[in-house]
Amino acid sequence: MRVREGRERVEAAGHLIRPPEDSAREHRFAPGHGPMTPAHAIALQRTAGNAAVSRMVGEIGGAGPKIPWAAPGTRSKRTQDESGVERGDSPPRQQQRVEKDQQATRATRSGKAGTSVKGKEKAEETEEIGNPTLQFTSRYVGPGKQSLAGNQEIGFEQEATLRRADGMTTRAEDAYDFWQEVTDENRQIAPDAVNYRPKKSKRPWVVDGPFRPSYNSDDGTIVNEADRISFNDSPGFSGNMRMTNGYWLCSYEVRFRWKVRRKLGGRFTKSEPFWTSDEMVHRVESVFDPQNPDASAQITVNSAGNHTWNVELPN
């Protein structure tokens, strides 16, 4: 009698877990053998008992490993001992040691100075950048006299050459930032001047034209060799700026200075620290006689001359 009641309960429970005919699941099951869900299992436990549930899971699940149902919202986790990871040691020590070895290998292959792997490899050290020498030469190249109706080129020729330190192999352009700065002022009479009154103009200190990194020149104003960089300049009123008919240069003063520092890399800027040379000055003066405007007059010149500096680069 009890056996019959048990069978009836099992059969009744089997009807409770039968999937609907219109199920949209990909896999179909025979009637009474659909996939068992946690809700079905709970219902079966209440009607047929745990033993019946175990038998039905075995029949429905088929071959393969049996995976227990987990409570909603939970996951199966390994304990701290099962994972093999000590508390507070992440990543594991073995992994940390491997990563350090790999980082050392990568650093050595990148070519950074002073890095090695277990002392077997060592990158080449960067050459020390020593103090260069700066040599300046100049001369006046204009006429001895000036006339209002003339066509005079009143100016100078000069060269500033920075030579790398003795014994260095690094190119000068790769070792130093070298640039030229200039300021000037003049007084001159223009054709529209009232009563031959001269007009004065003055400009502040500026970086002078192309005479700066990256030392590129197509007209020969910059000579860039392995051991030196030369700035070839022609300051004054010459070329397109020469004094022509109706103009008179009463006075002209131009000042130059040079700055040098160890190359910082990247885009050129004028930021410190740098070494600065003395100022080199060219002066020209010619006295105009308004009572006799057609007369020529002597040009008095004070050239900056020549100078050599032993550059002391700041740290």
Higher pLDDT, 75 or 295: 295
Lowest mean pLDDT among 3-12, 48-57, 67-76, 140-149: 67-76
33 pLDDT above the threshold of 90: no
Higher pLDDT, 146 or 94: 146
Angle between helices 50-61 and 38-48 (to 10 degrees): 140
149 pLDDT above the threshold of 50: yes
Span 199-252, pLDDT tens digits: 999 999 999 989 999 998 888 899 999 999 999 999 999 988 899 999 999 999
173 pLDDT above the threshold of 70: yes
Higher pLDDT, 303 or 90: 303
CB 270, CB 205: distance < 8 Å: no
Exposed e or buried b per residue across 7-42, where buried means at least 16 C-beta atoms within 10 angstroms of its C-beta: eebbeebbeebebeeeeeeeeeeeeebbebeeebbe
At 57, list the tokens: 């899971």
pLDDT for position 47: 53
